[in-house]
Amino acid sequence: MSQWGLRMARNRLDFCRKSLFCRGRLASKCWTGRLERFSLVYIAYQPSSKSTSVFSTDRRGLKSPREMFRGTVSKSVYRRPLSAAPAGEKRRTISRRKVRRAVVSTSGFVSRLETLYREYVERHDTSAFLSEVGRYYTQATLLRLAFSVSVEVRRAVVLALGFLGDYEANATFGRLLKDDDRSVRLLAENGIKNVWSRGGNERQRRALRRVMRSIAVGNFDEAVRLANILLEEAPRYAEARNQRAIALFGLKQYEEAIEDSAQVLEINPFHFGACVGIGHAYLQLDEPFLAICAFHHALKLNPNLELARLQIARIERKLKTEE
């Protein structure tokens, strides 16, 4: 066992003894004042079972701190060997997502969030749900819980962040677009569009809303003018550049729209809307192969874009008939 692992185990052991454990039993109230119960998750190599396991301690089958740290704690849990395996035995690894979900699934916060989400499903009271979530959780906590093993927790997190989150949640939404649960994917698709417009400061967000209103009424020239003013002040405001690309597309300036959309993807690599815009612009320029590539990239970012999938099928059928 490395010196780093020994030091880490010793620090965690001291923390457990001082803060959480009392005569070998888990304290009923955590020092944060919010957790209903507290569980510690450790990654250890167990020679007896010849496998890597994630095990936790809770009220049932509680182990003493000495027993908990008897295993070898790994230096890192992100796709690296957990510990030196005995001779003749293969070393094991565990993925980042599994570790994150294993850690967050044992927290008392999770059970509270599940309860709040179930109440929301029964009552459909969005304001009460958001009020309770905002009372007990910060955005950082919600972003951590987004990788929970519980489907209800992931749904609750995505729903809450869609209303309360800012642009920092963009990357988390981007990964949840590929979640196993369809409801999580749909909520993530709606939520990520909301956080795209929450970049910048309040004055810049008001200017962005004026650009979007001009596009909605078909006043593309005014939208481009307002977007130019906004981008002079905030050149890395991805959504402002995306809205200018939409206005340029409306003015049939397709090459300029493609250039703006490409810059959007450089700033925000999760912006599947910019990929779709590039695909439509290439179709107008009679570049079907480039359009297919753009739509495929959009599907890679967001597999739920059925319209992009239909566009690819339509273009391929058209190319076959032309042959």
DSSP string, 290-321: HHHHHHHHHHHH-TT-HHHHHHHHHHHHHHHH
- Residue 227: CB atoms within 10 A of its CB come to 28
pLDDT values of the chain reduced to their tens digit, one per residue, 323 residues: 566 566 666 665 565 554 444 434 333 333 333 333 333 333 333 333 333 333 333 434 444 444 443 443 333 333 333 344 444 444 444 454 544 444 444 444 457 889 999 999 999 899 999 999 999 999 999 999 999 889 999 999 999 999 999 999 999 999 999 999 999 999 999 999 999 999 889 999 999 999 999 999 999 999 999 999 999 999 999 999 999 999 999 999 999 999 999 999 999 999 999 999 999 999 999 999 999 999 999 999 999 999 999 999 999 999 888 87
- Confidence (pTM): 0.65
User: Coil, strand, or helix at residue 72?
Assistant: strand
Measured CA to CA in angstroms, residue 102 lies from 43, 50, 77, 155, 159 at distances of 10, 20, 12, 17, 21
Domains of the chain: 3-94 (no CATH), 108-196 (1.25.10), 202-322 (1.25.40.10)
**Which residue type occupies 169?**
A
Structural contact between residues 267 and 252, judged by C-beta atoms closer than 8 angstroms = no
- DSSP H or E stretch at residue 43: strand 40-46
